Each structure stands twice: as C-alpha cells, then as structure tokens.
C-alpha cells in the first residue's frame, strides 16, 4: 500500500525563501470526508489528480493518487464549492530531505505550514531554524478545520459590523 509518512510544522520566519529551489501553485478541492478518510481533487504542476487519504495513524496514512483528465477535475471542482484551497508550494532542501512550505491564499491567507516526508516514523529530522512548533496530528491544523475556523471568524466579524454579534 502507498504510505505517506510526514511531519507538519508552523513556520517561524521567512528565512526559507532564499533556499527554495522551485515553487508551484496548487488548487485542492475536498470532495468528501468521513471517519478520517478524505477524497480530494488536485491541480498542480500540469497534473490533475484524484487523491484519497486514510486517517492518520501516528505519522502515517495511506495515500492513493491517480491522474485524471483536466476537464474531469474542472467538473469535480464545481462540486467542491466552499471547500477549495489554493496555495503555493515551495520546495526547500534540508539536511533531512526536501521541505514543502505551503503558503496559503484566499480563505487561509497568512497560513504557512512546512511539511517533510520521511521514510519511517522513527527517522530523525534535523529541524531548520526557520521551522517552528510541530503540529503533526493537531486537528486545529487540518485543512478542513482551519477553513471552518476562518469561515466562522469571518461570520462573527460580519455580525459585529452589523451590530448583531451579541444575539
């Protein structure tokens, strides 16, 4: 089974930017989520894919990704309204492998997360100075939960502007 083993961290500074070798824009639409299983449609680097990820067990989860035609991806995105994320992924080499630094746009503007895929759960990772707190497995930093939290905060701001926040 294809297994993804990764660790996720907040980013504490922009020092990584000078080290990035390349970047690509990603568009990610959540199709379905149930009991930790997620199904997404993705567009990045000239690829369009359907991706299925199992729930996380420790640092690991199963990940299946299949290329699909671009017009199929466009049709699927139409069913993901409100659950589409856009980000720029920057690739930064490090002592323990290549870090993927995701800078979110749109609804998650300002969120920057660094991830590193590792061969085993016991692999020692050298943490660069620009990497901050580890958030692997922290539900507050799942894409869906971050999007929900931002959406709720925006609604509260709207209510406050309208003078209805105390209702």
d(CA 150, CA 165): 16
Place of tokens 């894409």: 143
d(CA 69, CA 30): 17
Which of 136, 71, 142 has its CA nearest to residue 108?
A: 142
> Would you say residue 143 lies in a domain?
yes
Q: What does the pLDDT read at residue 125?
A: 97
pLDDT along the chain (167 residues), means of 10: 92 97 96 92 95 91 96 96 92 97 93 96 96 93 80 72 67
3-state secondary structure of 16: helix
> Would you say residue 166 lies in a domain?
no
> Would you say residue 27 lies in a domain?
yes
d(CA 95, CA 79): 41
3-state secondary structure of 51: strand
Q: How far is CA 166 from the centre of its chain?
A: 34
Q: What CATH number does the domain containing 42 carry? A: 2.40.320.10
- Scanning 67-110, the segments in alpha helix (DSSP H) are 70-77
Q: What does the pLDDT read at residue 57?
A: 87
Q: What does the pLDDT read at residue 165?
A: 58
How many domains in the chain?
1
Q: What does the pLDDT read at residue 146?
A: 82
Q: What does the pLDDT read at residue 166?
A: 56
pTM of the model: 0.88
Q: What does the pLDDT read at residue 143?
A: 80
Q: What is the span of the domain harbouring residue 7?
A: 3-161
């Amino acid at each position: 089974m294809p297994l993804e083993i990764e660790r996720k961290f907040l980013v504490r500074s922009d020092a990584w930017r000078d080290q990035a070798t390349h970047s690509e824009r990603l568009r990610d639409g959540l199709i379905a989520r149930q009991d930790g299983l997620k199904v997404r449609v993705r567009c990045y680097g000239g690829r369009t894919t359907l991706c299925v990820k199992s729930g996380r067990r420790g640092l690991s989860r199963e990940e299946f990704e299949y290329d699909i035609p671009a017009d199929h991806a466009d049709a699927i995105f139409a069913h993901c309204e409100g659950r589409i994320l856009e980000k720029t992924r920057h690739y930064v080499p490090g002592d323990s492998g290549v870090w993927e630094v995701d800078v979110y746009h749109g609804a998650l503007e300002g969120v920057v997360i660094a991830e590193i895929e590792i061969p085993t759960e016991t692999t020692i990772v050298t943490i660069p100075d620009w990497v901050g707190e580890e958030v692997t497995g922290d539900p507050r930093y799942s894409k869906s939960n971050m999007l929900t939290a931002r959406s709720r905060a925006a609604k509260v701001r709207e209510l406050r502007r309208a003078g209805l926040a105390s209702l």
